[in-house]
Structure 1
Amino acid sequence: MLNQFSRTELLLGKDAMEELKNKKVAVFGIGGVGGYVCEALVRSGIGHFDLIDDDKVCLTNLNRQIIATRKTVGKHKVDVMKERMLEINPKVDIVAHKCFFLPENSNEFDFKSYDYVVDAVDTVTAKIEIIMKCKSENVPVISCMGAGNKLDPSRFKVADIYKTTMCPLAKVMRREMKKRGVKKLKVVFSDEKPIRPIEDMGISCKTNCICPPGAEHKCTDRRSIPGSIAFTPAVAGLVLAGEVIKDLTNGFGRNNQ
């Protein structure tokens, strides 16, 4: 019977679509990268999601985040993403967590219930905890390295963390994973040399912060605020989503048989 996933079923097959409908994916970080992950996964037929992020949509997100519009500025990202996903597939099961994932609250998440985890957060502490939780529960995880300060979307690659080059965040993660005895970790990274942002205080969040009063985590808390553009986070997110679907369907379903 014809349905919204019929075109996908032509490629993956009916069995693979049934598999995807029953899978649960957790996406940590619903920003420029994570938003496109959610978009692609719900359009691919994944049936269950946990969305984790404590941020609200900011005016400066409009240049790259799929959930950011003039109407959504000021709203919780997980709420906006959930609403959008339900408009795409009203049958999808989504739990939105309005929090920042840290070691202190990691026990509130049942990692054993996840079939796959996407790490799209941008802080090292949270990334490490997500990855170590997945490793301890034997849950597949893919981690996004730095997408900020990059302009060339063709430079994103899928690799093991120990095969990454150029990316400053990947360098830190290689060291931290080695210290913790992690033998392998699938990541998406760019081998493009990061561009140094223009130092213009007139357009910097450091001197023109527009985060809501009382916001728990502000962009000004960062040591440096990266530049960004519409297409690089989107490509990184779509590559991440593609790897999730490939892994959950054993190599894109029937084409791998």
Structure 2
Amino acid sequence: MPDAFSRMEMLLGDAGADKLGKARIAVFGLGGAGSFAAEALARCGVASLTLVDNGIVSVTDINRQLYALRSTVGKSNVQIAKMRIRDIDEGILVHTYETFYNNETAGMFDLKNYDYIIDAMNTVESKLLLIENAKISKTPIISCMSTDDRMDPSKLEIVDISRSVLCPIAKQIRTKLRKKGIRKVKVLSSREKISDIQLHGSISFMPGAAGMMLAGVVVKDLLGKSDRKHRYKK
């Protein structure tokens, strides 16, 4: 075990650390939550990370995205992510796709190749498609709902989408998934009430907290340490 991960090994033991060292994770969307989740998983020493995002850093990202700095404005999210991950552990295989996930590009990805999928995209149709394809592939997935217009990270929680009652995005996705016969999906959602007028404003700590929680769920699920209330049928 590399010295860089010795403290994690103390926590998880050899078997746990080795299991993470073989894990293949895909992260779709490297904005606020996705950027923090991908880096947290890299710091767990996973075997490979597949990163999918077609965005570039803009000045308005600086308030909430891990990769956004004055020096990175105009640069590709996936390329910044790859550079940082290689600097953390050059042994991690990093597969980058500068593309938007939709019906035209979904065929590029065999979801059966992954041990876990994180959906941190911000487009409802892309999220629906990825969730549906993950279910077909029987690959575990967690989908991040919106953290916009919220300021209380303590209200973030991991629930089945049927219990995400205060998130307009979750409501849209839940309704459309039911029409496809999909009723159970693990999501990160907020129980914080927001104004009926959605401004889509954001603040630094909300996406970061969400991203860390996403990574935590993936690790615990892979190690078989999820709480009973967080176990879902695939």
Output the TM-score relative to the length of structure 2.
0.93
What are the within-5 Å matches in structure 2 for residues 159-174 of structure 1? 159-174=159-174
Query: Who is 1:230 aligned against?
Result: 204
Distance 1:163 1:239 in 2: 17
Q: Deviations over 1:67-102 (max 9, x none)?
A: 111111100000001101111111110011000100
Distance 1:2 1:79 in 2: 25
Distance 1:195 1:12 in 2: 42
Which amino acid in 1 is paired with 2:137?
E
8 A Cα contact 2:174 2:183, kept in partner? no
8 A Cα contact 2:54 2:76, kept in partner? yes
Q: 1:45 Cα deviation (Å)?
A: 1.5
8 A Cα contact 1:149 1:196, kept in partner? no
Identical-residue share of aligned pairs (%): 40
Distance 2:152 2:196 in 1: 14
Distance 1:2 1:172 in 2: 44
Distance 1:194 1:168 in 2: 10
SS across alignment from 1:157: strand
Q: Deviations over 1:134-193 (max 9, x none)?
A: 000100000001111111111000000111111111111111121111131100000112
Query: Who is 2:6 aligned against?
Result: 6
Q: 1:31 Cα deviation (Å)?
A: 0.4
Q: Please tell me whether residue 244 in structure 1 is matched to residue 221 in structure 2.
A: no
Q: 1:196 Cα deviation (Å)?
A: 6.6
Q: 1:194 Cα deviation (Å)?
A: 2.3
Choose 2-11 or 84-93, whichever is displaced more: 2-11
Q: Please tell me whether residue 151 in structure 1 is matched to residue 158 in structure 2.
A: no
Distance 1:120 1:49 in 2: 14
Query: Who is 2:78 aligned against?
Result: 78
Size of the aligned set, in residue pairs, is 226
SS across alignment from 1:27: strand
Query: Who is 2:232 aligned against?
Result: none
SS across alignment from 2:69: coil
Distance 2:37 2:210 in 1: 9
Q: Deviations over 1:182-222 (max 9, x none)?
A: 1311000001122477xxxxxxxxxxxxxxxxxxxxxxxxx
Which amino acid in 2 is paired with 1:105?
T
Which amino acid in 2 is paired with 1:29?
G
Query: Who is 2:231 aligned against?
Result: none
8 A Cα contact 1:120 1:144, kept in partner? yes
Distance 1:6 1:150 in 2: 36
8 A Cα contact 1:150 1:195, kept in partner? no
Q: Please tell me whether residue 66 in structure 1 is matched to residue 48 in structure 2.
A: no
8 A Cα contact 2:157 2:188, kept in partner? yes
SS across alignment from 1:162: helix
Q: 1:225 Cα deviation (Å)?
A: 6.1
Q: Unmatched 5+ residue regions in structure 1? A: 198-223, 253-257
Which amino acid in 2 is paired with 1:245?
V
Query: Who is 2:138 aligned against?
Result: 138
Distance 2:107 2:174 in 1: 25
Runs of 4+ in 1 over 2 A off after TM superposition: 194-197
Q: Which is greater in Rg?
A: 1
Q: Unmatched 5+ residue regions in structure 2? A: 227-234
Distance 1:12 1:176 in 2: 39
8 A Cα contact 2:149 2:199, kept in partner? no
SS across alignment from 2:194: coil
Distance 2:69 2:195 in 1: 27
Distance 1:135 1:37 in 2: 21
Query: Who is 2:121 aligned against?
Result: 121
Query: Who is 1:201 aligned against?
Result: none
Which amino acid in 2 is paired with 1:110?
D
- Name the Cα RMSD after superposition: 1.4
Which amino acid in 1 is paired with 2:128?
I
8 A Cα contact 1:147 1:232, kept in partner? yes
Distance 1:2 1:36 in 2: 22
